[in-house]
A and B are shown apart, each in its own frame.
Chain A
Amino acid sequence: MSPVLVALFLIQSGIKKNGATMLIKYSFYFLAVAFTLTCSPWIYGQGSCFECHDDPDLTAVVSDTLEISAYVDSLIFASSSHGEFECVDCHVDAEGDPHDEVLGTVDCSACHDDVMEVYHASVHGDASGPDAASCADCHGKHDILSASDAHSKVYPLNLASTCAICHADPKIVKKYHIPIHDPLAAYRNSVHGIALMSEENFDAATCTSCHGNHGIYSMKDPESPIYWKNVPETCGQCHGEIYEQFTESVHGVAVEEGLRDAPVCTDCHGEHGVKSPEDPESRVHPLRVSAATCERCHASEIITERYGIAESRVITFEESYHGLAIKGGSMEAANCASCHGIHNIFRSSDPRSLVHVANLHKTCGNCHPGIDKNVSRGAVHLTSSTTPGRVVKYVKDIYILLIVVVIGGMALHNGADFIRKSRRIVKKREAGA
C-alpha cells in the first residue's frame, strides 16, 4: 500500500508548490491522515508497529543513562527500498504487541548473506570497535535506498561524503591510526572528484572504485585492491591502455618482481588528490615532473646505488638548457618524460626505449625536426666519468680561473688607480684651501 501513501504525499507537496488554495491543501492533509489512521492496521498486519512508532516523541530506555528515540517515520520507511517489508522481517526479536524489550541490532545477513560474508572479512567488519562502519552507517536504516537512487547515501555523488563522516573525523582518524587524514578534501579537488562531483561524470572513480565496497581491506593486505602491487591493476580497471603499457615498462616489470622501490601509479600521480597532468599542481605536470616525481628515486643515492641506476641523471638535466628552461617556466622544453616516455619507460639498452641509440634520433626529432644522427653519439647526460664530460669540466675550470685572474687583476688595477687619484684630489684640495 505504500505507493498510495507516497502518491498522496507527492500530490500534496506538489499542490503546495503550485500555490493552490489552502482548502485543497488541507483536505489532502486530512485525507492522508484519515487514510493512514483507518488503514494502517490493515496495511501492516495485526498490531501495526506504527501505531506507536510513528510518534516522534517515542523513546526507548536502553539503560539508566541511555534513552534513544524509537521514532520511525512511516512515510520515509514506506518510500525506502525495504518499504514493502514488514517490520518484523528485520526486527525478528520483536515479540508481543507492544513489545517490552528494547530490540537488538538487525542482522542483514538474513537476506544479504553473501555481502555480509565479504563485509565481515573486511577492515570494517573485522574491526571490533563500535566506531567501525556497519551496514546502517553507510546505507541508512529505515530510510535505506538503492545505491542507484540519487538520495541514497551510497549514490556515487553522495558516497565520498558518507565515507568522510568517519574518515574526515579527526577523533576517529587519530584513534584508529588511519594514516590518511582527510581523503575527501584531497579527493574533492582531484581529477576524479571534479569529474564526478562537479561534472557528474559517473565514469569517474569514487572511493569504492579503488577501495572496494563491502570488502574494503587494509593496504597491507595482499588481497586489497590498494595493496601496492595491486594498484596498477586497480587503476587499470579504467585506464586499461596505460596499464598494458606500464606492465611492460621497466617500472612495471620491477613491480611484478616485487621491488617495492619501483613506482606504482600512485607513487607518481598521488592517490586521493590525483590531478590531471595538465593541472599545474600535478606532480607529473611538465614543469614539475622532474623535480617533484622522477627526482625522488633517480636522485636518491640509496635507490641508484641499490639497483645500479645511472647517477647524476637529474642534476645533469637540471643544469642543461632543457632543465633550466623548464625551471624558467617553459612548456616547450623537454622534461624527463619527453625523451624517456611516460608509462612506457624502458632501459636505454632496450630497443623499445625511446632513448635507445637506434631511436634517440627520432625522439629528439620530435622537437628538433631534421636533427642530425650525431645526436645519438655519446652520452646525453654528460657526467665527469666520461672523457667529453671531463673536457667540458676542464674548460669550465679554466674559465673560472680566467675570470678570477682577469677580473681580479682589473679590480687590483682600478683599486690602485682609485687610491692614487683620490689622494691626489685630496692633496689638491688641501693645497687649494
Chain B
Amino acid sequence: MTHLLSPARNGKHAYVRWTANERFQHWVLAVSFILLVFTGFALKHPDAWWVRPFISVPWFADARSLLHRIFGGAFVLVGVYHVFYLLATARGRVLGKAFLPCRRDLSDFMQNLSYYLGIRKQPPTFGHFNYMEKAEYLALIWGGVIMIVSGFMLWFSSLTLMFFPRWVIDLVTVVHLYEAWLASLAIVVWHFYSVIFDPEIYPINTCMVDGRISEKDQREHHFDEWLELQSEDGADAQSELSKQ
C-alpha cells in the first residue's frame, strides 16, 4: 500500500502530508470560495457595511455578477481536476479511499464525545484523517455539488426553463442561498476551528502552506498512522524513541 505520508526531504522529524499539487488545489479552492462568498452575499445583502462602499461604484453590479461567474468557473475547474486527480493518480486513489468514512469513525466520534463529557479519561487516537476531517471533506463535496448544480441552473436559466417551470428557478435560488450559508458557516465554525482556534493548533496550522507535519504533531494528532510507520520501519523508530 502506498503511504500517504513520506519523510520530509530536507528536514528532520517531519513528514510531507500534502503534496504541492494538493496544496495548489486547496488554495485555488480557498480563494475562489472566499471570493464567491463575497460576490454572492454582496448580491443578497447590498445594504451590508462590507458592500456599501462598493455599491456607489457604477460598474460594481456588473463586475460583481461577472466575477461571481469567473470564480464559480475556477471552483468548477478545481473540482473537476480534483475528481481527475482522485481517479487517475496512484496517490489520488489512496487519498480518496482514506477520506471514506468507516465504522471506526463512528466509534472515534462516540469515544471523543465521551471524552468531552468526562466519561473517558483519554481521547481516541486517529489515523491519517480523523472523523472531523472526513466529515468536512465529504460536506465540501456535497455542498460543492449542490452549489455547482444550482449555480449552473441559475446561470443558464433559459436552459433550466426548457426542463422546468419557472418556480423551480425560485427553488434553486433558495437552495443556492441557504447552501451558501451552510458552507460559509461550516468553514468558519468547523474548518477555522481545526486549523486556527484549536488550542493545540493556535495561532495557525501551516501544513497547507509547506505541506509538512512535524513528528511531534503527527504523533499527537495522527497517532495510529505514526505507529504504523514505526512498525514498518522498526529500526528507525527504535532509534527515534531512544533519542527521546
The residues of A with any CB-CB pair to B shorter than 8 Å are 320-321, 324-325, 327-333, 368-372, 374-380, 382, 386, 388-389, 391-392, 395-396, 399-400, 402-403, 406-407, 410-411, 413-414, 416-422, 425
Beta-carbon contact of A388 and B167 below 8 Å: yes
Instruction: List, in ascending order, chain A residues with CB within 8 A of B229's CB.
Output: none
A321 to B186, CA, bound (A): 25
Q: How far is the CB of B203 from chain A (nearest CB, A)?
A: 14
- Asked if A417 meets B198 with Cβ closer than 8 Å, knowing A324-B44, A330-B61, A396-B174, the reply is yes
Give the nearest-CB partner of A333 in chain B.
Answer: B61
The contact string, 1 if C-beta is below 8 Å from chain A, for chain B 151-162, is 000100110011
User: In the complex, which of the residues A369, A386, A418 contacts B198, with contact meaning CB atoms closer than 8 Å?
Assistant: A418
B46 lies within 8 A of A420 (CB): no
The reply to whether A403 and B185 form a contact with Cβ atoms under 8 Å apart is: yes
Residues in B whose Cβ lies below 8 Å from that of A402? 178, 182
Complex: A328 Cα to B64 Cα, angstroms: 9
**Would you call B198 and A378 a contact (CB within 8 A)?**
no
Distance (whole angstroms) from the CB of A385 to the closest CB of chain B: 13
Q: How large is the interface on B (under 10, 10 to 19, 20 to 34, 35 or more residues)?
A: 35 or more
Q: Are B44 and A410 in contact (CB under 8 A)?
A: no
Q: Are A371 and B158 in contact (CB under 8 A)?
A: yes
Contact between B178 and A403 (Cβ–Cβ < 8 Å)? Answer: yes
B193-221 to A contact mask, C-beta < 8 Å, 1/0: 11001111000000000000000000000
- CA distance in complex: A396, B182 (Å): 12
CB B132 to nearest CB in A, in angstroms, measures 8
A407 near B186 with CB under 8 A, answer yes
In the assembled complex, which residues on chain A have CB atoms less than 8 Å from the CB atom of B77? Answer: none
B161 touches A420 (CB 8 A): no
Contact A324 B43, CB 8 Å, known A330-B65, A374-B161, A418-B198: yes
Residue pair B200, A425 in contact (C-beta under 8 Å): yes
Interface of A is mostly: helix
A216 CB, nearest partner CB in chain B, Å: 42
**Other-chain contact of B55, A329, A377, A407, A411 (Cβ < 8 Å):** A329
Whether A374 and B166, one on each chain, are in contact in the complex, defined by CB atoms closer than 8 angstroms, is yes
Is there an interface contact between A392 and B171, defined as CB atoms closer than 8 Å?
A: yes
30 CB < 8 A contacts A-B = A320-B173, A321-B43, A321-B173, A324-B44, A324-B46, A328-B42, A328-B43, A328-B64, A332-B62, A368-B157, A369-B158, A371-B158, A372-B162, A374-B161, A374-B162, A376-B166, A377-B165, A377-B166, A378-B166, A388-B165, A388-B170, A392-B174, A396-B174, A407-B186, A410-B189, A414-B198, A418-B198, A419-B116, A420-B123, A422-B199
Of A329, A333, A391, A420, which one neighbours B115 at CB under 8 angstroms? A420
Contact A399 B157 (CB under 8 A): no
Docked pose: A364 CA to B51 CA in angstroms:
29
B154, A370: Cβ atoms under 8 Å?
A: no
Please tell me if the beta carbons of B179 and A399 are within 8 angstroms of each other in the complex: yes
Nearest first, the 9 A-B pairs at minimum CB distance are A399-B178, A330-B61, A388-B167, A416-B116, A372-B161, A329-B61, A328-B46, A421-B199, A374-B161
State whether A379 and B158 are in contact (beta carbons under 8 Å apart), knowing that A395-B175, A396-B174 are contacts in the complex: no
A414, B191: Cα distance in complex, Å: 10
Q: Which residues of B contact A (CB under 8 A)?
A: 42-44, 46-47, 51, 55-58, 60-62, 64-65, 113, 115-117, 123, 154, 157-158, 161-167, 170-171, 173-175, 178-179, 181-182, 185-186, 189-190, 193-194, 197-200
A420 to chain B, nearest CB (A): 6
* Cα–Cα distance between A330 and B55 once the two chains are bound (Å): 10
How close is A409's CB to chain B, nearest CB, in angstroms?
A: 10
Report whether A421 and B185 are in contact in the complex, using a CB–CB cutoff of 8 Å. no
A-B interface pairs (CB < 8 A), number: 132
Instruction: Please state if A328 and B60 are interface contacts (CB–CB under 8 Å).
Output: yes
Q: Is the CB–CB distance between B167 and A392 below 8 Å?
A: yes
The distance from the CB of B68 to the nearest CB of chain A, in whole angstroms, is: 11
- In the complex, besides A372-B162, A418-B193, 14 extra interface pairs with C-beta distance below 8 angstroms are A320-B170, A324-B43, A327-B47, A328-B51, A328-B61, A331-B61, A370-B158, A372-B161, A382-B170, A388-B170, A416-B113, A417-B193, A420-B115, A422-B199
CB-contact partner of A399 in B163, B165, B175, B199, under 8 A: B175
Minimal beta-carbon separation of A396 from chain B (angstroms):
5
Residues from chain B with Cβ under 8 Å of A379 in the complex: 167
A-chain residues with CB within 8 Å of residue B165 when the two chains form the complex: 374, 377-378, 388
Which residues of chain B have C-beta atoms less than 8 A from A425's C-beta?
199-200
Q: Which residue of chain B has the shortest Cβ distance to A368 in the bound complex?
A: B158
Known: A324-B46, A327-B46. A391 touches B171 (CB 8 A): yes
Residues of A within 8 A of B162 (CB): 372, 374
A414→B135 CA distance, assembly (Å): 14
Name the A residues within 8 Å of B158 (CB-CB). Answer: 368-372
A116 to B222, CA, bound (A): 103
B residues in contact with A410, CB < 8 Å: 186, 189-190, 193
Residues on B with beta carbons closer than 8 Å to the beta carbon of A403? 178, 181-182, 185
Contact B182 A399 (CB under 8 A): yes
User: Which B residue's beta carbon lies closest to that of A388?
Assistant: B167
A257 to chain B, nearest CB (A): 33
Contacts of A411 in B (CB 8 A): 189
Q: Which residue of A lies closest to B178 (CB)?
A: A399
How far is it, in angstroms, between the C-alpha of A413 and the C-alpha of B123 when the chains are bound? Answer: 13
Minimal beta-carbon separation of B2 from chain A (angstroms): 31
- Which of B61, B157, B166 is the one whose CB lies under 8 Å from A380? B166
Which residues of chain A are within 8 angstroms of B42 by Cβ–Cβ distance?
328
Say yes or no: B198 contacts A421, CB within 8 Å.
yes
Query: A416 contacts which chain B residues (CB < 8 A)?
Result: 113, 116-117
